[in-house]
Amino acid sequence: MKPKRDVGIAGYGAYVPRFRITAAEIARVWKPSQAAALKTEKSVPGPDEDTVTISIEAARNAVYRAQVSPPDIKAVWVGTESKPYAVKPTSTIVAEAIGATPEVSAADWEFACKGGTEAMQAAIGLVGSEMVDYAMAIGADTAQGRPGDPLEYNTGAGGAAFIIGPGAESVAVLEGSYSYVSDTPDFFRRQLQEFPEHGHRFTGEPAYFRHVLGATQALMTELDYGPEDFALAVFHQPNVKFPTRAAKSLGFTKEQIAPGLLAGVIGNTYAAATMLGFAAALDHAQPGDRILCVSYGSGAGSDAFSFVVTEVIEEKRARAPRVQEYIDRKKMIDYATYARYTGRFGK
Amino acid sequence: MRQVCVLGIGQVPVQELWDKSLRELAVTSIVAALEDAGGVPVQALYVGNMLGGELTGQAQLGALVADFAGLAGLEAFRVEAAGASGGVAFRQGYLAVAAGLRDFVLVTGVEKMTERLDPEVTAALAHAHDGDYETFPGATPASLAAMIMQRYIHEYGVDRGDFAVFPLTAHQNAVNNPYAMYRKALTRAFYDRAAMVAAPLNMLDCSPTCDGAASVVLGPAQVARDLNRPVVKVSSSGLATDTIAIHDRADPLWLAAVAQSVAEAYRQAGKGPGDIDFFELYDDFTITAVLALEASGFAARGQAVRFANEAGIGLDGQLPICTMGGLKGRGNPDGATGVYQIVDVVQQLRGAAGANQIDCRVGMAQAIGGSGATAVTHILEVEK
């Protein structure tokens, strides 16, 4: 899929909360015998942080990079699975906070971990049709893990915002996108449930791999590219193992995915995961680099994008903190503090 | 009692078959077996299955599978003896033909384990043990096997690492079996690093949760001879039980049901351990394989691990076991396994085992339920 008008990323921004807890520390409480083997850590939202605040930080960074006047941003769309209100959009708060209201479209998007890239697809359409010049898509989450569940080791928090705009102003121009979806209930949360349920091994082959590989192969076939045509590739990252395996089976090297693979240091940031990885790849990329970006959302589906980095990136990149700066800015906390910050002892 | 032969075999590749239902698996294996048998008119169907009710919500599998195989009306019922279900179903088929009651019988083993999450599957598998005195207080199949292994190591002073030869052999053999779940060889280093499931059993000492179905067609010897391929006959069948709970056994390191079923099988076939060319034993856990070798007369008490390492249990060893991957490499779809074992034996005896072919005339298959509470042993031979 590609709009008639050249579009791309006019600006992008990231945000990761500063608190970190190691998987080993979580294991110390739940499964001490496994602690020594665990080497990852994840980000934890502070007591006054949530998907709204995270989205706003990322959105501001995107605006700084884009150097666009906020009232010209005609859509602010947040993809998340941890929106503070079941009914009341996060997007309106973000739109107001960055000064884009009232002439703006705002709505929250849900498709598990790919709500943000869904919003990107739609933003591409809105800008590509010349209905508007700038539309912002955000992926942000404060992921919930049931205490003691294997998912708890990875559920992180973070956000990334992308302002889609005219190709000429973009740090990276869109070559094409593809969406691949099926009704696959690998991971879900009912209305009033606090924590999601997942299908253990069913979340692998029939879910993550089927859709990530399906979308990637379809996009590459449509654009007539092989893995060697891409400088960088970013895959959805619930952990380090899945994207590494997906990359390998598609023929991508470890070097191609390394800059965009953050799961080991910030965990799975759910709707932000692929987009934060993409932001990190953009922080790293050189003009002319082609970047593959493939998300995955449970339920299930994948959005695949191919972007080519332009000269514009050199100048715009420096205007806001890079993903690595947020990763490096960290304060380690223990399980009790983590339980307090994530509301286990009540708000 | 007349001679009974295996006329046809069929199997489904063992995997996590997300897209296949229990009935679909069974029927696929039946179609393959009937085709292999040249399409004889089967008159009865015995279905080996352990977890249909618990994990699929489906009982009355005899009628169900017959129905969906297009054989509604046949004598059919489900046979359950925990992990021995498939072997016992095969025995039922053998008895029906041997007694002259039926001419052509279909035996199907089928299991669908991936439809539920791990805790539910473990709880269902635990039904093979004593519900009041073992599992209600919290024991699982792995923890019970672990206790036996712990005792074995203590009694006989065996080195923990010496057990590796069992899963390594199984995986090595599975490489060449297109129906096997795991087709990669393991290294000793990989085994030593494997995470504990229930100490001292590690991940590689435990057979996997998976889906599968296998079927065989049984019939009289004279029909088998007309099929223009090696004639594989069922020489004997033995079945015995033991106390269900380990704590009620005089000797927890002796599988009395195995010994009894094997003695019956040897006697009926007029054979002894020295006549057996290969042994499709029940390696749901490594320790089970070790104890099965001892109770079946292939190694002295406490010596099976040394026997495996020195005399050899690989394809070129003194007693090849798990020649197509066993439960550890091929997979262990619980109630279906006993029939997969028969299929493996038949392939070897026919000379159809491909890269894993060994020089053989007599094979033994043995399935075990729970901690050895049921054991069923079959000896098959090829007519030369």
Are residue B27 and residue B165 in the same domain, yes or no? no
Q: Is A111 exposed, middle or buried (0-12, 13-18, 19+ CB in 10 A)?
A: buried
Nearest to A200 among B19, B117, B195 (CB): B117
Q: Is residue A344 part of a domain?
A: no
**Percentage of chain B surpassing pLDDT 70?**
100
Are residue B46 and residue B188 in the same domain, yes or no? no
Q: Is residue A346 part of a domain?
A: no
A211 is catalytic: no
Task: Return the closest-CA partner of residue B53 out of B123, B124, B122, B119.
Answer: B124
Are residue A20 and residue A142 in the same domain, yes or no? yes
Are residue B371 and residue B306 in the same domain, yes or no? yes
Instruction: Give the distance from residue B185's alpha carbon to the nearest chain A alpha carbon, in angstroms.
Output: 19
Are residue A91 and residue A112 in the same domain, yes or no? yes
**How confident is residue B228, by pLDDT bands cut at 50, 70 and 90?**
confident
Question: Strands A331-332 and B4-11, how do they pair?
Answer: unpaired
**Helices (H), strands (E): how many in chain B?**
13, 11
Are residue A181 and residue A273 in the same domain, yes or no? yes
The residue of chain A nearest to residue B210, with distances taken between CA atoms, is: A201
- In sequence order, the β-bridge partners of residue B76 are B45
pLDDT of residue B301: 98
Asked if residue B92 has pLDDT above 90, the reply is yes
Which CATH number goes with the domain that contains B106?
3.40.47.10
pTM above 0.95, yes or no: no
Probe site for chain A from B117, B118, B202 (most A CB atoms < 10 A): B117
Are residue A185 and residue A162 in the same domain, yes or no? no
Taking an 8 Å Cβ-Cβ cutoff, which residues of chain A contact chain B?
33-34, 37, 199-202, 205-206
Residue A287 CB neighbours (<10 A): 13
Are residue A75 and residue A61 in the same domain, yes or no? yes
Q: What is the rounded average pLDDT of the residues B163-177?
A: 98
| B242-270 pLDDT per residue, tens | 999 999 999 999 999 999 999 999 999 99
The residue of chain B nearest to residue A199, with distances taken between CA atoms, is: B117
A293 is catalytic: no
pLDDT of residue A347: 65
Contact A206 B118 (CB under 8 A): no
Contact A202 B18 (CB under 8 A): yes
Task: Please identify which of the residues A81, A118, A169, A175 carries the catalytic annotation.
Answer: A81
Taking an 8 Å Cβ-Cβ cutoff, which residues of chain B contact chain A?
16, 18-19, 114, 117-118, 195-196
Q: Is residue A178 part of a domain?
A: yes
**How confident is residue A145, by pLDDT bands cut at 50, 70 and 90?**
confident
Are residue A322 and residue A293 in the same domain, yes or no? no
Are residue A62 and residue A118 in the same domain, yes or no? yes
Are residue A240 and residue A267 in the same domain, yes or no? yes
Q: Is residue A263 part of a domain?
A: yes
How many interface pairs between A and B have CB atoms less than 8 angstroms apart? 14
Q: Is residue B203 part of a domain?
A: yes
Do residues A154 and A21 touch, judged by C-beta distance below 8 A? Answer: no
Residue B295 host element (H or E): helix B286-295
Q: Give whole-number Cα distances, B150 to B143, B199, B216, in Å.
A: 10, 8, 38
Instruction: Give the distance from residue A237's alpha carbon to the nearest chain B alpha carbon, in angstroms.
Output: 23
| B73-87 pLDDT per residue, tens | 999 999 999 999 999
Do residues B341 and B255 touch, judged by C-beta distance below 8 A? Answer: no
Distance between CA B271 and CA A292 in Å, rounded?
66
Are residue A140 and residue A231 in the same domain, yes or no? no
Are residue B91 and residue B178 in the same domain, yes or no? no
Task: Please identify which of the residues A198, A211, A236, A284 carries the catalytic annotation.
Answer: A236
Are residue A87 and residue A202 in the same domain, yes or no? no
Asked if residue B295 has pLDDT above 80, the reply is yes
Partners of residue A202 in chain B, C-beta under 8 Å? 18, 114
**Helices (H), strands (E): how many in chain A?**
12, 14
Are residue A73 and residue A217 in the same domain, yes or no? no
Residue A345, token pair as written in the block: 């002892």
Question: To the nearest whole number, what is the mean pLDDT of chain B?
Answer: 97
> B262-282 burial by CB neighbour count: b if 16+ within 10 A, else e?
bbbbbeebebeeeebbbbbbb
End-to-end CA distance of chain B: 22
The residue of chain A nearest to residue B194, with distances taken between CA atoms, is: A37
Are residue B215 and residue B278 in the same domain, yes or no? no
| A74-127 pLDDT per residue, tens | 999 999 999 999 999 999 999 999 999 999 999 999 999 999 999 999 999 999
Do residues B213 and B108 touch, judged by C-beta distance below 8 A? Answer: yes
Contact B118 A199 (CB under 8 A): no
Are residue B376 and residue B296 in the same domain, yes or no? yes
Contact B196 A206 (CB under 8 A): no
Q: Is residue B123 part of a domain?
A: no
Which SS3 state, helix, strand or coil, does residue A128 take? Answer: helix
Nearest to A199 among B19, B117, B196 (CB): B117
Placement of tokens 């979308």 in the chain: A215
Are residue B270 and residue B323 in the same domain, yes or no? yes
Task: Please identify which of the residues A113, A169, A175, A211 carries the catalytic annotation.
Answer: A113
Question: To the nearest whole number, what is the mean pLDDT of chain A?
Answer: 96
Q: Give whole-number Cα distances, B72 to B53, B61, B63, B107, B373, in Å.
A: 21, 12, 7, 15, 33
- Dmax over CA atoms of chain A, in Å, equals 58
Q: Is residue A98 part of a domain?
A: yes
Contact A205 B19 (CB under 8 A): no
Instruction: Give the distance from residue B203's alpha carbon to the nearest chain A alpha carbon, in angstroms.
Output: 14
Which SS3 state, helix, strand or coil, does residue B68 take? Answer: helix
Eight-state DSSP code of residue B57: S
Are residue B186 and residue B150 in the same domain, yes or no? yes
Task: Please report the ipTM that was assigned to this predicted complex.
Answer: 0.80
Distance of CA B256 to the CA centre of its chain: 18
Are residue B198 and residue B213 in the same domain, yes or no? no
What domain count does chain A have?
A: 2
Domain range spanning residue A41?
7-171+316-338
Contact A199 B19 (CB under 8 A): no
Asked if residue B227 has pLDDT above 90, the reply is no
The residue of chain A nearest to residue B116, with distances taken between CA atoms, is: A199
Task: Return the closest-CA partner of residue A135 out of A192, A95, A88.
Answer: A95
> Could you give the angle at the alpha carbon of B167 between the alpha carbons of B165 and B172, nearest 5°?
90
Which SS3 state, helix, strand or coil, does residue A164 take? Answer: strand
- Tell me which of A2-16, A29-43, A167-181, B18-32 is least confident: A29-43
pLDDT of residue A16: 98
Half-sphere exposure of A62 (CA within 13 A, CB side): 36
Are residue B100 and residue B167 in the same domain, yes or no? no
Task: Return the closest-CA partner of residue B83 out of B382, B381, B375, B377.
Answer: B375
Q: Is residue A187 part of a domain?
A: yes
Are residue B95 and residue B38 in the same domain, yes or no? yes
The residue of chain A nearest to residue B18, with distances taken between CA atoms, is: A206
Contact A202 B19 (CB under 8 A): no
**Percentage of chain A surpassing pLDDT 70?**
100
Q: Is residue A297 part of a domain?
A: yes
Q: Is residue A343 part of a domain?
A: no
> Could you give the angle at the alpha carbon of B320 between the alpha carbons of B318 and B324, nearest 5°?
165
Are residue B217 and residue B241 in the same domain, yes or no? no
pLDDT of residue A37: 87
Partners of residue A37 in chain B, C-beta under 8 Å? 195
Are residue A165 and residue A227 in the same domain, yes or no? no
What domain count does chain B have?
A: 2
Contact B114 A202 (CB under 8 A): yes
AA identity, residue B10:
G
Partners of residue A36 in chain B, C-beta under 8 Å? none
Residue B296 CB neighbours (<10 A): 26
Which CATH number goes with the domain that contains A145?
3.40.47.10
Partners of residue B18 in chain A, C-beta under 8 Å? 202, 205-206
Domain range spanning residue B265?
128-207+235-382
Asked if residue B384 has pLDDT above 80, the reply is no
Q: Is residue B230 part of a domain?
A: no
